[in-house]
Chains A and B, each alone.
Chain A
Amino acid sequence: MAQVTSPPKPAEVVSPAPARRYSSDAAGLGRLRAGAFVAPALALIAVFLVFPALWVIYLGLTNYRLTGAAAAEPQFVGLDNFVKAVTDPEFWDSTWLTFQFVLGSAVIGQVVLGFTLAWMLKDRRGTLKSVVEGLVILAWILPSAVVSFLWVALLDRDAGTLNALLGIPGFAWLLDHPMLSIIIFNTWRGTAFSMMLYGAALGNVPPSHLESARLAGASGWQQLRDVVFPHIRGHILTNLLLISLWTFNDFSPFLLTAGGPDGKSEVLAVHVYKVALQNGDLGYGAAISTVILLINLVVAVFYLRLLRSKK
Chain B
Amino acid sequence: MQARYLPYVLIAPVSVFLGLFFLYPFYLVAQTAFYDGAGWSLKNFQEVTSYWKFPSSFKNTLWLAAVVVPIQLALALLMATMVNAMKKGRDLVLYIWTIPLGISDLAAGIIWLAIFEQSGFLNSIMHGLGFIDRPTALISYQNPTLIFVAIALAEIWRATAIMLVILVAGIGLIPKEYYEAAQVFGAGRWKQFVRITLPLLRPSLSTALVLRVILAFEVFAVVQALGGTLFPVLMSETYAYQFELLNGSAAAAVALIILGISIASTIAILRVLRVPKGATI
Do A and B originate from a single complex? Answer: no
B residues bordering A, Cβ < 8 Å? none
